[in-house]
Chain A
């Protein structure tokens, strides 16, 4: 059994409620931090832990905290990013629904470390029932002296508020989230200044993902050094993976970052393999924005090594033959799935979610959707494949925020690895609307390394 740090108590009945959470060791980390540590010592433990942002970017959390400007007399804010909208990702929802106090405790410790007295949880609007759960947890934490004025007699004050969004993927980008929290359209800001200097209401602000903030609790409980012993290399600790698509047991799993991709997909402890005896065709392991890989490159790197569920191993080979850990939204496609159609659905998603601020993204995502729809519907030309490649190249790196890159990468990777499936759609238009290309050679062992680069 893999070791767990976040979901180790998830099976306990009633863990959603304060009394049960407290009885099972809850708020011990908060007590330790507030009563026996300084804010800088807390930050130091987080740095030692090697914790990396769990929202998708993987930036070291302790380092991010250390960038926070601390001018005299100016309030500082911590904002919890619960906007979880990356297709394939539903792990934060699980944490908030089932162990809300873990997040509240993580927020308390993190706010203490950052010197924030007013903290917001920005949650996607569609998770409309979860604010009730969080607000109940906040009220109970208040009643028991973990929030409000002079918390546990330490002199530290904190209030936590829940803010619902209203349907916009872009608000997961931290500056768009801040704009939205200020009551505006979610248009990302030009950086610098970074939120650490000028964020919410022009005050220094840290924005962290739900899972990142929850992970602060075990880090304080066991210490940063101990936490860093979980996982492999620079992928320290555990990671929540939300697995979906063609799997026997889709769901949210906490993994110690030391298992292989193959074990994650096929072992009974995790996803339990692919239903109906079908074979694996492709996988997008880190949320829809990261490159799709065919089965043969997913399970083994181009060098022939076993691909592991770590930031480094998933990235092995770069964009030519690797992918990314991203948010941990693990999407599995079996042999019956059509990569062109799936890519079209993602292009449609990004077109719908583009905020419209930057022309390459606003126009490019729409073009990609239309061209992909044509190819999928048997109306594509061979030159459309090159056109798609050209459009995505012109979006990537040319926008204010990473949504442009996120829209470009899935299209690029699909063409890079599945070009013959695209070509088959063009050369067999009548077939393409009736059936799918199938597994083809995508699971075959790679003959020579050079063939895939």
Chain B
């Protein structure tokens, strides 16, 4: 897959750069990396990162050091659906360990692994700011909160149906 934004996304990049004063386009790096990750398979390959560097006229190392620092950037391929389950204190108190164990059992994978069909990746993450609605996980752009085993079953069934 050639790494190249569509015309529409290139316009979005221009719009992002315009948020900062002249010459400060490096500030666009984090938003543009989000856009790149969404556009090129849910993760950032070195090719993708080099492309972003060329767009913002910064050196590739400036992109690598940022991409490796922030936890939302995936530096290796992930499944079509990424389950990011919070396991920090408040979620733990509300039963996140049981939810993680259930997802592991249900999908037959460990934390950090992807199902053989490439559909699901399970990750544990640190506090996502939904402590009152725990246990919870991030699924793409949105949160799934008040998780129960039944709710997990339902989410997985819906995603499987959606993928077919």
Give chain A's interface residues, CB within 8 Å of chain B: 75, 84-90, 93, 118, 120, 124-129, 161, 163-169, 180-186, 201, 242-246, 250-252, 284, 288, 329, 331, 333, 337, 341-342, 345-346, 348-349, 352-353, 355
Q: List 17 A-B contacts (CB under 8 A).
A: A129-B142, A161-B19, A164-B30, A166-B73, A167-B71, A182-B24, A183-B62, A184-B66, A245-B93, A245-B131, A250-B134, A331-B89, A331-B90, A331-B93, A348-B88, A349-B89, A352-B71
Interface pair B92/A341, CB less than 8 Å apart: yes
How near does chain A come to B83, taking the closest CB pair, in angstroms? 14
Interface pair B72/A125, CB less than 8 Å apart: yes
Q: A161-B19, A183-B56, A201-B21 are in contact. List 8 more A-B contacts (CB 8 A).
A: A87-B88, A88-B89, A88-B131, A126-B72, A128-B142, A168-B69, A244-B93, A245-B90
Interface pair A167/B72, CB less than 8 Å apart: yes
Which residues of A sit under 8 angstroms from B138, Cβ to Cβ? 126
A75 to B22, CA, bound (A): 13
Cβ 8 A contact of A85, one of B93, B127, B132: B127
6 residue pairs, one from A and one from B, having the closest CB atoms: A166-B70, A167-B71, A183-B29, A244-B131, A167-B72, A250-B132
Most chain B CB atoms below 10 A, which of A284, A348, A353? A348
A88-B90 CB under 8 A given contacts A168-B71, A186-B69, A349-B127: yes
How near does chain A come to B129, taking the closest CB pair, in angstroms? 5
How near does chain A come to B33, taking the closest CB pair, in angstroms? 7
Most chain A CB atoms below 10 A, which of B28, B34, B65, B69? B69
A329 to B88, CA, bound (A): 13
How near does chain A come to B78, taking the closest CB pair, in angstroms? 14
Which residues of B sit under 8 angstroms from A120, Cβ to Cβ? 19
Interface pair A89/B129, CB less than 8 Å apart: yes
A342 to B33, CA, bound (A): 34
Cβ 8 A contact of B66, one of A125, A164, A183, A342: A183
Interface pair B93/A183, CB less than 8 Å apart: no
A181 to B31, CA, bound (A): 10
Most chain A CB atoms below 10 A, which of B65, B127, B131, B141? B127
Which residues of A sit under 8 angstroms from B130, Cβ to Cβ? 90, 93
Interface pair B70/A167, CB less than 8 Å apart: yes
How near does chain A come to B163, taking the closest CB pair, in angstroms? 21
Interface pair B71/A166, CB less than 8 Å apart: yes
A169 to B74, CA, bound (A): 17
Interface pair A345/B89, CB less than 8 Å apart: yes
How near does chain A come to B20, taking the closest CB pair, in angstroms? 8
A181 to B30, CA, bound (A): 8
Which residues of B sit under 8 angstroms from A75, Cβ to Cβ? 21
A337 to B89, CA, bound (A): 11
Minimum CB distance partner of B18 in chain A: A161
How near does chain B come to A117, taking the closest CB pair, in angstroms? 11
Interface pair B142/A182, CB less than 8 Å apart: no
Cβ 8 A contact of A126, one of B62, B88, B129: B129
Minimum CB distance partner of A128 in chain B: B141
Interface pair B126/A353, CB less than 8 Å apart: yes
Most chain A CB atoms below 10 A, which of B29, B126, B140? B126
Which residues of A sit under 8 angstroms from B58, Cβ to Cβ? 183
Cβ 8 A contact of A250, one of B21, B87, B133: B133
Minimum CB distance partner of B134 in chain A: A244
Query: Is B98 located at the chain interface by the 8 A CB criterion?
Result: no
Which residues of A sit under 8 angstroms from B73, Cβ to Cβ? 166-167
Minimum CB distance partner of B72 in chain A: A167
Interface pair A185/B19, CB less than 8 Å apart: no
Cβ 8 A contact of A252, one of B62, B125, B132, B142: B132
Which residues of B sit under 8 angstroms from A183, Cβ to Cβ? 26-30, 56, 58, 62, 66
**Interface mask (B17-55 → A, CB under 8 Å = 1, otherwise 0):** 001010010111111011000000000000000000000
Interface pair B31/A242, CB less than 8 Å apart: no
Interface pair B33/A87, CB less than 8 Å apart: no
Interface pair B24/A201, CB less than 8 Å apart: yes
Which residues of B sit under 8 angstroms from A243, Cβ to Cβ? 132
Which residues of B sit under 8 angstroms from A342, Cβ to Cβ? 89, 92-93
Interface pair B31/A168, CB less than 8 Å apart: no
Query: Is B156 located at the chain interface by the 8 A CB criterion?
Result: no
Query: Is B94 located at the chain interface by the 8 A CB criterion?
Result: yes
Interface pair B131/A246, CB less than 8 Å apart: no
Which residues of B sit under 8 angstroms from A182, Cβ to Cβ? 24, 26-27
A67 to B88, CA, bound (A): 37
Which residues of A sit under 8 angstroms from B92, Cβ to Cβ? 341-342, 345
Query: Is B128 located at the chain interface by the 8 A CB criterion?
Result: yes
A185-B66 CB under 8 A given contacts A85-B127, A87-B89: yes
Which residues of A sit under 8 angstroms from B90, Cβ to Cβ? 87-88, 244-245, 331
Which residues of A sit under 8 angstroms from B69, Cβ to Cβ? 168, 185-186, 355
A182 to B126, CA, bound (A): 24
Interface pair B19/A346, CB less than 8 Å apart: no
Interface pair A84/B129, CB less than 8 Å apart: yes
Cβ 8 A contact of B31, one of A163, A169, A353: A163
**Interface mask (B108-140 → A, CB under 8 Å = 1, otherwise 0):** 000000000000000001111111111000101
